[in-house]
Chains A and B, each alone.
Chain A
Amino acid sequence: AQSVTQPDIHITVSEGASLELRCNYSYGATPYLFWYVQSPGQGLQLLLKYFSGDTLVQGIKGFEAEFKRSQSSFNLRKPSVHWSDAAEYFCAVGAPTDSWGKLQFGAGTQVVVTP
C-alpha cells in the first residue's frame, strides 16, 4: 500500500539550533514530493517540492530538503531555526501517474521552538 510516514510527531528545538524533519514514503515509483507548513489556525503553505533532477532542493524561509532514492526519504532541514518556524510540518506525495495535484499527506510533525 502507498504510504507517507513522518516518524516524529513532535520535535522541540532551541532557537538558533538546526532542525531536521524526517519523511519516508512507500510507492511503486518515485512520487512527487512536497513539504508544507501550517501555522496554527491557518491553511498550508508550500515550502518546497521535488520532481526530478538535483536531489537537494532549496525552498522558502531558509528550508532545504534532500531526496534519497535508496532510503525512500525526503527529509527537511533548516540550519538555524527562528521562533517563527514553530508550526506543523507536513510531508506530502503526489502519485507519478496522477495528472492532478492530489496529495497524500503524512501525519505531520509539530515543531516547538524554545528561547
Chain B
Amino acid sequence: DAMVIQNPRYQVTQFGKPVTLSCSQTLNHNVMYWYQQKSSQAPKLLFHYYDKDFNNEADTPDNFQSRRPNTSFCFLDIRSPGLGDAAMYLCATSRTGQGTEAFFGQGTRLTVV
C-alpha cells in the first residue's frame, strides 16, 4: 500500500545533541509537511515543502531545520534539542490543490533527556 513512513517510531536524544527524524512516502505527492504535537495538544505545522521549495511557518524556531533531497524523502533536523522539544513529530504529504487531503505517517515520539 502507498503510504507515509516515519523512522524511527521512538527517538531518545540528549539535551543539546543534534537529532534527525526521517520521513518517506510512496504516494508521489509533491507537498510534504512536518507537524509538532506536544502532549494533549493539537498538531502544529512547522514547515512544508512544495517540491523543493521550503516554506517555514513564522513561529517555527530556528532550531528546527528540514531537508528534502528528493520527492520521496524529507528530514527534520533539530540542531540543539531542548526539553521543550519533546513531542510527537508527524510527517504528512498531499497533492497540490485547494482543500487537498493530507496523509499522515505514524509519527516519531521524541524524548529529550
Mark A residues whose CB is within 8 Å of B. Answer: 32, 34, 36, 41-46, 49, 51, 90, 94, 96-108
Contact = CB atoms under 8 A, between A and B. Distances in A.
A101 B100 contact: yes
Given A42-B106, A43-B105, A100 B100 contact: yes
A90 B42 contact: yes
Which of the four size classes fits the interface of chain B?
20 to 34
Interface stretch (B13-21, B68-76, B91-99): B91-99
B97 A106 contact: no
Nearest to B6: A43
Q: Specify the main secondary structure of chain A where it touches its partner.
A: loop
Interface in B29-54: 31, 33, 40-45, 48, 50
Given A51-B99, A101-B101, A43 B90 contact: yes
Contact of B50 (A36, A100, A105, A106): A100
Interface of B: 4, 6, 31, 33, 40-45, 48, 50, 90, 92, 94-107, 109
B48 A105 contact: no
A98 B90 contact: no
Given A51-B99, A100-B31, A44 B43 contact: yes
A96 B98 contact: yes
Contacts of A44: 43, 90, 92, 104
B73 to A, nearest CB: 17
Contact of A101 (B31, B42, B106): B31
Contact of B92 (A42, A90, A101, A107): A101
A90 B66 CA distance: 26
Contact of A43 (B40, B42, B50, B106): B106
5 contacts: A42-B107, A98-B98, A99-B97, A100-B48, A101-B31
